[in-house]
């Protein structure tokens, strides 16, 4: 049941990204182009997501456990350290250069697989490098 809920949720997220145009790197770059032809579409998508999540957080506080699991799996820390800041910076730089982030990139595999596959391969390689780097304690 948990896998089915995850699959349906992921597919709904991907469809939402495709319908909103967030799988189009030019639209994302347009949002980041403050001094050119700025495209506010992404701001509306983010605002809509924030509204939905605000409702979800309010519901989560009132229920004991989710429907498809025995407990909630919420982050256990709010620590802001150099790893978080560096990761956020790398994410932002990659997002600005490629116009894609992980969710839209995976959704784009169904729409425009060529460029998306390059991004996803680089993303997986980066995740692997992080695990390798972290395993040897270099990330501490």
Q: How high is the pLDDT of residue 85?
A: 92
Domain spans, the chain: 2-135
53's tokens: 């999540």
DSSP-assigned states of every residue in 71-121 = S----------HHHHHHHHHHHHHHHHHS--HHHHHHHHHH-HHHHHHHHH
pLDDT in tens, the chain (140 residues): 788 988 998 899 888 888 888 888 888 888 888 898 899 988 998 899 899 999 999 999 999 998 888 898 888 878 888 888 988 998 888 888 888 888 888 888 888 888 889 999 999 998 998 888 887 765 55
C-alpha to C-alpha distances, 39 to 13, 49, 96, 121, nearest whole angstrom: 22, 18, 14, 28
pLDDT at site 138: 58
Q: Which pLDDT score, from 0 to 100, does residue 137 have?
A: 67
Residue 31 is encoded by which pair of tokens?
């949002």
Q: Please, which residues have CB within 8 angstroms of residue 114's CB and are 6 or more apart in sequence?
A: none
């Amino acid at each position: 049941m948990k896998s089915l809920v995850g699959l349906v949720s992921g597919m709904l997220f991907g469809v939402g990204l495709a319908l909103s145009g967030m799988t189009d790197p030019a639209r994302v770059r347009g949002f980041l182009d403050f001094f050119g032809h700025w495209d506010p579409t992404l701001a509306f998508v983010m605002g809509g997501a924030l509204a939905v999540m605000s409702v979800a957080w309010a519901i989560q506080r009132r229920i004991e456990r989710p429907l498809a699991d025995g407990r909630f799996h919420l982050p256990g820390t709010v620590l802001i350290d150099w790893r978080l800041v560096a990761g956020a910076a790398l994410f932002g730089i990659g997002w600005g250069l490629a116009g894609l982030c992980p969710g839209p990139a995976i959704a784009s595999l169904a729409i425009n697989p060529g460029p998306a596959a390059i991004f996803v391969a680089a993303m997986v390689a980066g995740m692997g490098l992080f695990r390798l780097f972290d395993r040897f304690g270099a990330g501490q």
